[in-house]
Structure 1
Amino acid sequence: MSQLEDLNRAMAYIEEHLDGTVDMDVLARIAVCSKYQLQRMFPYLTGVTLPEYIRRRAMTRAAQDLRATDAKVVDVALRYGYDSPTAFARAFRRVHGASPNDARRPQTKLTLYPRFVFTLSVKGEEPMDYRIIEQGAFRVVGIPSDNGTWEVEDAGEKAVDYWEKLGPHVHEILDLVDGSEPAGLLGVQFCRDGAFDCYMACVATNRPCPEGMEERTVEAATYAVFECVGPMPEAMTNLWHRILTEWLPSSGYRWESKTDVERYFTPRMTAPDSRSEVWLPVVKA
């Protein structure tokens, strides 16, 4: 079954559980990916976060129920998983700009958010060059992020903030380079049990781990490797968008729940000709 079919099965599951019983673990299993991957991929594919999509679909259906039936607002609220009519009214107004009671009035303007259906679209974009490599496990030493869990909504902002704060410590990390592969400064995204664990600027090395740093092992994986040229963070963000929306759905591979790696070759990352790579762990679909 293709990734697009898996995603459409996940959308069907959401439709059947708009009563507030969407289980993210079940949803991720249906989509054949981890929760972290699904929540990260969804905004790239749709332009909206997964929780916001579920909320919009529930409030769309709630508005239809209010217009079509004489059910009490409190009963409709319970039907869509809200124990508090106040919380339901707040969510409803956020989507429709009107209260649940106003929704019964014919002149009230409501918003319909349709169910997403994923299809393969041929856009005529520029071709994407990539290579598939088999990479054995390797040890890295570096400085992990310490600003808590990175949610989809703020991951980009936290990554930028992390690199800015890292500043001169980058050179301390690069001093550990000893010829181990993969060479270069790495930005590694570690996950644990399918959830985000930490982001870490590091290098592959066999040298001892200095005080204040941390060592980890990047497990062996098959990687799809993509070259990125342009200033950070815009170039990297654009590349991730193309990987997840253009390459992955039609590649014959799935995004494996392992460690994502970004590899930087240019000391000045904001330079127009800055060079880097994205290593996406994959498995044959």
Structure 2
Amino acid sequence: MSQLKHLNDALAYIEEHLDGTLDTGEVARIAACSAYQLKRMFPYLAGITLSEYVRRRAMTRAAQDLLATDEKVIDIALRYGYESPTAFSKAFRRVHGMSPSDVRQPGAQVTLHPRLIFTLSVKGEEPMDYRIIEQSAFRVVGIPSANGKWDLEDAGAKAAEYWEELGADVHKVVNLMDGSEPAGLLGVQFCKDGDFDCYMACVATNQPCPNEMEERVVAAATYAVFECEGAMPDAMNDLWHRILTEWLPSSGYEWESKTDVERYLTPNMISPDSRSEVWLPVVKR
């Protein structure tokens, strides 16, 4: 229950800081996780990204203020952290489908996005198999994402785009395999100082690093390993959802801000019988 309390305390903090003073780092601190983990978890837990949730709540409150008062639109915009009326109008229209001034017209219909409250959901009808391993540090060589740091809130879509753009170049990476463990093609999401650093298609290898690639070391960690079967990316996304919403809250482990590893064990990743694994770095709670 402590995890639920942390998350709900974080939601309460968000409600108190819809005026543009919201600090994502503070939200993560209250939620007892890193900013990296918060941005990864929130869409799985809430169905929307953290930034979109904040926007919807702020614009819901702004619409209520517009209907309940005679305040100028610019004053309400400033209250919710928008110094530009244009930016406020754009955000408002995205949520309500109309401009702020239109809300005050007779018969105007606005949208209420209620405050979230996380509650315990009793599931478990489908068992989740996993194993805990102690993995020593290993060197990887591969091709990092070319578009720099990703916004973690759309990391899943970015990863899918990355693999599509990688195309035939993935064979250059696979050809570096030399029997080093963990074997197989890896999708590694590196974390640095509690935040996202880099995503890379790579392999564990002792081969020299080609000029067009990059080498890194995956630090030693305790991993919870989950097997996945099905076509990418849907099967992997479904597994991540179950890990974060079902396994993690009841496992007795906490997600550690280290390096997440996805391990692809069959050549055809979009085949219905494709096999892969998720390696989640954990510490005993």
TM bucket, shorter chain: over 0.9
User: Distance between the aligned counterparts of 1:211 and 1:49, measured in 2?
Assistant: 37
Query: How many corresponding residue pairs?
Result: 285
| 1:142-163 per-position Cα deviation (integer Å, ceiling 9, x unaligned) | 1211122222454333322322
- Give, in whole Å, the separation in 1 of the partners of 2:117 and 2:264: 36
Report what 2:245 is aligned to: 245
Distance in 2 (CA, whole Å) between partners of 1:162 and 1:92 is 32
| TM-score of the pair, normalised by structure 2 | 0.92
Q: Which residue of 1 aligns with 2:69?
A: 69
Per-residue Cα deviation, 1:94-136 (whole angstroms, up to 9, x for no partner): 2122332333346221211111111121235411111111212
Once residues 95 and 167 of structure 2 are traced to their aligned partners in structure 1, the CA distance between those partners, rounded to angstroms, is 41
Task: Point out where structure 2 has 5 or more consecutive residues left out of the alignment.
Answer: none
Map of 1:24 onto structure 2: 24
Letter in 2 for 1:17: H
Secondary structure at the counterpart of residue 168 of structure 1: helix
- Give the CA deviation at 1:62: 1.4
Matched, 1:35 2:9: no
In the alignment, what sits opposite 1:168? 168
Query: Aligned AA for 1:237?
Result: N
Quote how far apart the aligned CAs of 1:84 are: 2.0
Q: Tell me how far apart the structure 1 counterparts of residues 84 and 142 of structure 2 sit (CA, whole Å).
A: 47
* Change over 3 Å in CA distance of 1:59–1:178 after alignment to 2: same
Distance in 2 of aligned mates of 1:65 and 1:266:
55
Q: Which amino acid aligns with 2:99?
A: S
Q: Superposition RMSD on alpha carbons, in Å?
A: 1.9
Residue of structure 1 equivalent to 2:104 = 104
User: What is the Cα deviation at residue 56 of structure 1?
Assistant: 0.8
- For 1:137, the aligned partner's letter is A
Cα distance per residue 1:53-95 (max 9 Å; x no partner): 1011111111222222232222211111111223222222221
TM-score computed with the length of structure 1 as normaliser:
0.92
Indicate if the aligned counterparts of 1:183 and 1:204 stay in contact, CA closer than 8 A. Answer: yes
Aligned to 2:217: 217
What does 1:58-207 align with in structure 2 at a 5 Å threshold? Answer: 58-105=58-105, 107-152=107-152, 154-207=154-207
4+ residue runs over 3 A deviation: none
Mapped to 2, the partners of 1:12 and 1:90 lie a distance apart of 26
- Does the 8 Å contact 1:120/1:250 carry over to 2? no
**Cα separation, partners in 2 of 1:165 and 1:99, compared to 1, 3 Å:** closer
Structure 1 unaligned regions, length at least 5: none
Could you tell me whether the CA contact under 8 Å between 1:49 and 1:152 is conserved in 2?
Answer: no
Distance in 2 (CA, whole Å) between partners of 1:38 and 1:127 is 25
Q: CA contact under 8 A between 1:63 and 1:103: conserved in structure 2? A: yes
Letter in 1 for 2:63: A
